[in-house]
Amino acid sequence: MLTSLIGQESATAQSREHEVSRNPSDGSELFTFAHASLADVDDAVANARRGMDMPEWRDITPDHRGRLLWRVSTLIEEHSDELALMDSNDAGMPLGMSRGVNVPLAAQVFRYYAGFATKIEGRLSQVSIPNTMHYTTREPIGVCALITPWNVPLAIAAWKLAPALATGNTAILKPAEQAVWSTWRLVEICREAGIPGEVVQVLLGGPEIGQALVRHRGVDKVSFTGSTEVGCQIVADVAPTLKRVSLELGGKAPSIVTASADMDQA
């Protein structure tokens, strides 16, 4: 039974809606996971806000953050076969794509942002007022809600999570309910790498959990990849709180399978 990872603990699975994840290629049962509740959303946001103030996250150097992300990248590579099979079984991704693109790309993204963590700089600019200096600094936004789709689960989670962590934010991932496995495992890997549980969390559930995150006043930034319809709703939902929002909407990448395809190899 998979459950949401909130703070330092797993959420209890008692008295919750459960869902069976099945392999889309043959319908076989893979695992059962418990849907988060609205109370879990509140708990996750509260933990993420605490994470922003924890000395072991707030006060560490950019180099230290980079080393943590590098460790995540290394662990992804060490568990590459496990992660590839997770997304192939859970999301129906061809194993060649999962092994050759999805998992390596996730590791590359974390390694890239491990180096980026020490390259975040402000600016010093000229002003016309005498004896005046004008400069800018860059600071973390805060709590980031990262909502990911089902089609390339691990890589897209990495695209959103690695830059959020490199810049000192805390993050709550909400994967599509059709493909939660590898994202859940990624959060475990982040914790194994030494990132505090309050800094990276995952909520499992359907659209109502994503909407509760988007609307929550304790969330400072929303990043969503998915349908145009849902993206339009998110824009409306964040308007009252003026949250920052990033949207990737309506992408299509069909595959054409011909009679010459080796299905066993795929």
* CATH label of the domain that carries residue 205: 3.40.605.10
The more confidently predicted of residues 239 and 254 is 239
pLDDT value for 264: 75
**d(Cα 56, Cα 8) in Å, to the nearest integer?**
14
- For residue 266, pLDDT beyond 80: no
Q: Residue for token digits 């995150």?
A: 213
Overall number of domains in the chain:
1
- For residue 255, pLDDT beyond 80: no
Task: Indicate whether 158 belongs to any domain.
Answer: yes
- For residue 14, pLDDT beyond 90: no
Confidence of residue 139 (pLDDT cuts 50, 70, 90): very high
**Residues 125, 130, 132: CA angle, nearest 5 degrees:** 45
- For residue 231, pLDDT beyond 90: yes
Task: Indicate whether 131 belongs to any domain.
Answer: no
pLDDT value for 249: 92
The pLDDT mean for the chain works out to 93
Task: Indicate whether 260 belongs to any domain.
Answer: no
For 181, the token pair is 């496995």
Task: Indicate whether 55 belongs to any domain.
Answer: yes
8 Å CB contact between 202 and 173: yes
Task: Indicate whether 262 belongs to any domain.
Answer: no
Residue 249 to residues 32, 134, 148, 156, 227: CA-CA distances in angstroms? 29, 38, 11, 13, 5
- According to DSSP, the β-strands at 123-125 and 134-136 are antiparallel
pLDDT value for 250: 85
Task: Indicate whether 257 belongs to any domain.
Answer: no
Q: What is the mean pLDDT of residues 84-106?
A: 93
Q: Is 122 exposed, middle or buried (0-12, 13-18, 19+ CB in 10 A)?
A: exposed
Structural domain of 208: 5-118+136-249
pLDDT value for 35: 94
Q: What is the mean pLDDT of residues 46-68?
A: 97
Task: Indicate whether 266 belongs to any domain.
Answer: no
**d(Cα 87, Cα 94) in Å, to the nearest integer?**
9
